[in-house]
Amino acid sequence: MKFLVLCLGNIGPEYADTRHNVGFMVGDYLAKKHDASFELGRHAFTTEIKHKGHTFVLAKPTTYMNLSGKAAAHWLSTLKIPKEQMLVVTDDLALPFGKLRLKGKGSAGGQNGLKHIQETLGSDEYARLRFGIDATFSKGRQVDYVLSPFSADEKIDLEGRLEKAAEAVLLFGTVGLERAMNVVNVK
């Protein structure tokens, strides 16, 4: 079976290590672990990895975060797969750093990439893996916060947290959404 893993972030070196790009980081982690390289495609850098008989197409949109729906629609159509076989990996301010939350549907929760995907697909019924980036910023400084690098303390733990997120992506494809949620969403 084939899955689309849409890893959200912004292109460009100025965004590379920012909290908002944690989706890209998860995609990069998976690609590295499977000796895969991203290539520029329409609306995204993409690569394929195989795991337990399943194919995962990792896509890092080139549309910037707020227009991620373009990449989602294009790659779902190109791959000829239903949105039930798509997992969106994104940052989440409402979760503590590194905390993961896997859901099968729901609101965008203020995340503009998810909002555009929902508008473009006309549905909120697609899986998403939210990676907590915490919300330790002063009032009115949200944009600066999400576009800033992780703290020194967070960077120490980041690799291990990315590994857990990568495991969650592979679980989604190999055991299904419900069973993966039971593993990933443990308190």
Residues annotated in a binding site for tRNA:
15, 64, 66, 112
DSSP symbol at 37: -
Q: Which residues are annotated as a binding site?
A: 15, 64, 66, 112
Closest Cα to residue 58, out of 83, 78, 88, 90?
Answer: 88
Alpha helices, DSSP H, located in 61-111: 68-79
* Separation in Å, CA 173 to CA 3, 4, 44, 97, 156: 7, 9, 21, 24, 28
Query: Which residue, chain included where needed, has tokens 């549309």?
Result: 63
Q: Residue 139 has which token pair?
A: 């009032």
Q: Which of 20, 43, 74, 116 is catalytic?
A: 20
Instruction: Please say whether the beta carbons of 108 and 114 come within 8 A.
Output: yes
* Alpha-carbon gap, residue 127 to 21, rounded angstroms: 18
Is residue 116 flagged as an active site residue? no
Closest Cα to residue 92, out of 139, 135, 130?
Answer: 130
* Alpha-carbon gap, residue 169 to 10, rounded angstroms: 20
Query: Which residues are known to be catalytic?
Result: 20
